[in-house]
Amino acid sequence: MQVGFALADRHRSERILMKAAKEAPMTFFEEILTRRAAEAGITLTDAQIAQFAVYNEMLTDWNTRMNLTALTSPEDVAVKHIIDSLTAYDAALFDGAKMLIDVGTGAGLPGIPLAVYAPHVHVTLMDALQKRVRFLMEVTRAMGLTNTCAIHARAEEAARQAAHRECYDIAVSRAVARMPVLLEYALPLVRVGGTFLALKGRAYAEEAAEGAGLARSLGGGAILARPVYLPGLDDVRAILSVTKERPTPRGYPRRQVK
């Protein structure tokens, strides 16, 4: 019954957003996002564009009162936040997934864009700072998202709890920590057969090599790299992926990850 209500709420929110999107002229941000998404080969519906417009407005507003991001221009939010987050999407992984966790989500990236783009996946947004969790709760509510929850937790603690350990089909992170640290935080949360995705910049090959041994120790396979392109930028980025092949030994994650 609760699932039925959740689906009904989601469909109702989508209808409201689509109606609003059709009745109102496109804002500057919406025009940029629509154009840049098309250049990246990403198709967004009117309802999704409207949801991302709400995210942009609330991000820039809340950022005046707390430190969520240094990038707040319409172009930066569209490309470096939303489209960058969506580069983690891979239909082969997401089509069969039900549960995803975003480790160290910060301003909800990449979790919120992925929740919009893959509404059949339940997305857990995890962050260690309570005031960021308040933002996440408010912005997902305003966007009409019913497939997300925001939790206040440290990854190294959550990964030792039965409610989270080896429970997720996909774990993602866009955090600035090096790959070995992210692996130790995130891979214990992934079920056997699931995948950890890390969004990385130009040093991705070096980080993949740096984390290869630890990935195996944590129950993962090889670290694979998928280069990605962001429209209008000439920098180098890639999605690093690790498939969970075996359960993570009980000693991980360690209390003090270095």
Residue keyed to tokens 């949801």: 51
Whether residue 42 lies inside any domain: the answer is no
Structure tokens at 178: 């090096």
Backbone phi and psi for residue 212, each to the nearest 5 degrees, phi listed first: -60, -45
Which positions make up the binding site?
104, 109, 155-156, 174
Please state whether beta strands 148-152 and 122-127 pair in parallel, antiparallel, or not at all (unpaired): parallel
Whether residue 70 lies inside any domain: the answer is no
Residue keyed to tokens 């079920």: 191
**Spatial distance between the Cα atoms of 196 and 243, rounded to a whole number of angstroms:** 6
Print the domain residue range for 96. Answer: 90-244
Total domains, the chain: 1
Whether residue 40 lies inside any domain: the answer is no
Whether residue 213 lies inside any domain: the answer is yes
Whether residue 28 lies inside any domain: the answer is no
Whether residue 48 lies inside any domain: the answer is no
Which positions make up the binding site for S-adenosyl-L-methionine?
104, 109, 155-156, 174
User: In a 10 Å sphere around its CB, with 0-12 CB exposed, 13-18 middle and 19+ buried, how is residue 226 labelled?
Assistant: middle
Q: What is the DSSP letter of 198?
A: E
- Mean pLDDT per segment of 10 residues, for the chain of length 258 residues? 49 56 79 97 96 97 95 97 98 97 97 98 97 97 98 95 97 93 97 98 96 98 97 94 98 79
For residue 235, the model assigns a pLDDT of 87
**pTM, rounded to two decimals:** 0.90
For residue 220, the model assigns a pLDDT of 98
Whether residue 225 lies inside any domain: the answer is yes
Domain CATH for 168: 3.40.50.150
For residue 20, the model assigns a pLDDT of 56
Whether residue 75 lies inside any domain: the answer is no
For residue 1, the model assigns a pLDDT of 40
